[in-house]
Chains A and B, each alone.
Chain A
Amino acid sequence: MRPRKTNTLMIKIENLVKTFGAKRAVDGISFNVERGEVVGFLGPNGSGKSTTMRMITGYYAPDSGKVSVGGNDVVESPLAAKRLIGYLPENAAAYSDMTVVGFLGFAAEIRGLTGGAKQKAIGRAVERCFLSSVLHQSIDTLSKGYRHRTCLAQALIHDPEVLVLDEPTDGLDPNQKHEVRNLIRELGKTKAVVFSTHILEEVDAACTRAIIIDRGRIVAQGTPDELGRPLEDVFRRLTIADTVKA
């Protein structure tokens, strides 16, 4: 018998809108993510995935609509919301002049972890992301895969309840991709996870639910089975390639 899920609402998004100049990047998106869910965020490039994630994490303020994380409105009480979130930004930006352990130490300290708790948190994140061999290497000397995992480790450092991962498998080799997917699935058992991707096989590999967005709107959502198979055909039917004129 499966353990009973504790279905608590962790991310609540209502009618989110964000416009850049004349372009409406996100156009009325609403969805919820509960603890124990891994939501895959699918869509072509430029469909508003990153913009939505940036609004969840409080980097962009929405033009209208609401985001709340763990019951905290991201605009009104940003600190309480941000404390619950671990965020892997697109392109996995990290301070390139720091060593891996220095960077993780910084992330831990800014999250209020010191002394023994800090060391423990670093140890756990390093183990989860397989970083022990590059611990004292400076980040600008790391390969893309390692840099990506360093930034992922930063997102996991405080064992957050909500994970927002923007293309977590981008630039990784097939083995690393496999590991990261397993990690996401594992983390998803106890946390609320949202991750974006345009690799469809990842939806099957890691998600409990997928949301397909196109040009700022949700065009379909459901479990991979509900969306229909093969996923690629579904995706291509629902979204418009950016090579086609709108």
Chain B
Amino acid sequence: MKHIWVIAKRELGAYFTSPVAYIFLVIFLLLTGFFTFTAGQFFERGEASLSAFFGWHPWLYLVLVPAAGMRLWAEERRSGTIELLMTLPITPWQAIAGKFLASWIFLGVALALTFPVVITVNVLGSPDNGMIFAGYLGSFFLAGAYLAITCMTSAMTRNQVVAFILSVVACLFLILAGFNPVTDLMARWASPAFIDTVAAFSVVTHFDGFQKGVIDTRDLLFFLSLIGFSLFATGVILRNR
């Protein structure tokens, strides 16, 4: 555990010593603001909830999370520091967990900095704050799932751009599997059971519950197993590098 934290601390330091963290935070906050208030028509909706805010997260994270995580392993491979890391007296699992946690904490910080939107909606009306909390929790796990996939793609290559594109495609698939226009399209030829099975793999399906204020252990388990599987795959990829 101590080793995981030492790795995570270094990784967090790497975010904040470069401009990456600040650019990321500013863009993340600008985009969440834009999507919530302009594209999401927060005011026009006239309801005291953050559905205009959370509804965009699967799409927003699609680009931003891979951008935050693409560096994790690809940069180690490019600069050769992976050789240093893998010959330290730590298990590969500790390195993987440490790096993942650092990035997840970073994304958590970004998410926490959206707190003004919670204040806004509380000033304007009386929303269900339990529902908002569930939304934040779901959003955090959604970010974690995308991030774990990005870890995996980042471990495959020494090129950050390749890592980015691969993870965007993988995450896009996880959205589209449960995205209404896509499931409607499939309904023309596939059986409802098949569509449900495909949709069960979608992050949107599992994120919906959180947005409605329901913290379902099955949804949590979905995200956790997605994270677990992706990090396990990261380990396999690194072992066979």
Q: Which positions in A face B, CB cutoff 8 Å? A: 54, 57-59, 78-79, 82-83, 85, 87, 89-91, 93-98, 102, 106-107, 109-112, 138, 151, 154
Contacts and interface: CB of A to CB of B under 8 A. Distances in A.
Contacts of A94: 81, 84
B87 A110 contact: no
Contacts of A96: 79
Contacts of B87: 57-59, 82, 85, 87, 89
19 contacts: A58-B87, A59-B87, A82-B88, A85-B87, A89-B84, A93-B80, A93-B81, A93-B84, A95-B10, A95-B79, A97-B14, A97-B18, A98-B13, A98-B14, A106-B6, A109-B6, A110-B88, A110-B89, A112-B2
A107 B7 CA distance: 10
B6 A95 contact: no
B90 interface: yes
A97 B17 contact: yes
Contacts of A97: 13-14, 17-18
A154 B84 contact: yes
Nearest to A57: B87
Contacts of A112: 2
Given A79-B89, A82-B88, A97-B14, 6 more contacts: A59-B83, A59-B86, A78-B91, A98-B17, A106-B6, A111-B88
B212 interface: no
B80 A91 contact: yes
Interface of B: 2-3, 6-7, 10, 13-14, 17-18, 79-81, 83-84, 86-91
Given A58-B87, A79-B91, A93-B80, A110 B3 contact: yes
B103 to A, nearest CB: 15
A58 B81 contact: no
Nearest to A154: B84
Given A97-B14, A106-B10, A111 B89 contact: yes
A78 B87 CA distance: 9
A161 to B, nearest CB: 13
Contacts of B90: 79, 110
A90 B88 CA distance: 15
Considering the complex of A and B, which 4 residue pairs feature the smallest CB-CB distances, nearest first? A93-B80, A82-B89, A57-B87, A83-B89
A95 to B, nearest CB: 6
Contacts of B88: 82, 107, 110-111
Contacts of A154: 84
Contact of A89 (B6, B7, B14, B83): B83
Nearest to B95: A110
Nearest to A84: B89
B135 to A, nearest CB: 34
Contacts of B80: 89-91, 93
A81 to B, nearest CB: 8
A102 B14 CA distance: 11
A79 B92 CA distance: 11
A105 to B, nearest CB: 9
Contacts of A109: 6
A93 B2 CA distance: 24
A207 to B, nearest CB: 23
Contacts of B6: 106, 109-110
